[in-house]
Chain A
Amino acid sequence: MARKITSYCIIDSKGIKRNNGFQDFASGNTFKENIDTLIHENEIKNSRLGRMDPMSVLGFVGTELLLDNRKISEEYDPYDIGIVFSNNSSSLDTDLKYWDSVKKIASPSLFVYTLPNVSMAEICIKNCIKGENHFFLSQKIDLKLIYEQCSTLFDQELSKVIITGWVDYFQDDYKAVLFIIEDGNGEYPDFTEENLNKILKQ
């Protein structure tokens, strides 16, 4: 079997694109309005959602939709499941909110999200993932970076399946582009930079 892109999910202010289609968001909606719609319509439940920062919520909800009720830690050894994320803003949105809170009393619940890696931690907690976690920063979506970092994890046998992509949020400007990469059969596109780009551009 070859390495394949077996699932994708793209969320931005216009709507959501998934393997099975596209759903528009109403024009002018805030991030919270759109993400609450996705949470409600897809019955996404997690008691921690109310405490997460917006970037973590975006990554978490995007991954839930990407997995689509799949119990990935029952299909793979949890240590063989990796996450490779990237973005431009790091955790800057939360960093600024935390900095603002410091003027009175620093908020512990904001502080814990002043690191983009925590978004991956939330996904790992929910899905019992214990494998490699990497978070990179780049100025724009860098599919070459994603392709090369995932390939390294596969080639070094550190991961057998990887949830990867871009999760960026800053002051209500947001985009998540997520993929699952694993061995698969012919019905899925091969894991190549070109195919990642085709999905992104559609």
Chain B
Amino acid sequence: MSELKQELKEKIIEQLNLQDINIADFSDDMPLFGEGLGLDSIDALELIVLLQQDYNIKISNPEQGREIFQSINSLSDFISKNS
């Protein structure tokens, strides 16, 4: 699981071009949206693309998005259960 979390952090930083983010400061429980990493709605769409492209997972219910993308912990948990 920790390998997946590290991989997710690296992919998010690269895919979203987060030049100011140091991976060492990117904690597993840091909120991805709002306070924390500060992602926006376009980033949310990019994360959905990342899930589909890299993990072959489609989010069928958009309502789930808020919970899935809460943090690296919730995202890796979702991927582990659905891949």
Q: Which residues of A are in contact with B by a Cβ distance under 8 Å?
A: 47, 49-51, 104-105, 107-109, 112
Contact = CB atoms under 8 A, between A and B. Distances in A.
A24 B42 CA distance: 36
A51 B52 contact: no
Given A50-B17, A50-B18, A108 B38 contact: no
Contacts of A49: 19
B42 A112 contact: yes
A183 to B, nearest CB: 37
A108 B43 CA distance: 8
A50 B19 contact: yes
Interface in B51-80: 52-53
B35 interface: no
Contacts of B17: 50-51, 109
Interface residues on B, range: 10 to 19
Interface of B: 16-20, 38, 42-43, 45-46, 49, 52-53
A108 B20 contact: no
Given A47-B38, A51-B17, 16 more contacts: A49-B19, A50-B16, A50-B19, A51-B16, A51-B42, A105-B52, A105-B53, A107-B49, A108-B45, A108-B49, A109-B16, A109-B17, A109-B42, A109-B45, A109-B46, A112-B42
Contacts of A104: 53
8 contacts: A47-B20, A49-B19, A50-B16, A50-B17, A50-B18, A105-B49, A107-B49, A109-B43
Nearest to A108: B45
A105 B47 CA distance: 12
A112 B45 CA distance: 11
Contacts of B20: 47, 50
A109 B18 CA distance: 13
A47 B49 CA distance: 22
A174 B63 CA distance: 42
Nearest to B43: A109
A59 B19 CA distance: 19
A107 B42 CA distance: 10
A109 B42 CA distance: 6
A50 B52 CA distance: 23
Contacts of A108: 42, 45-46, 49
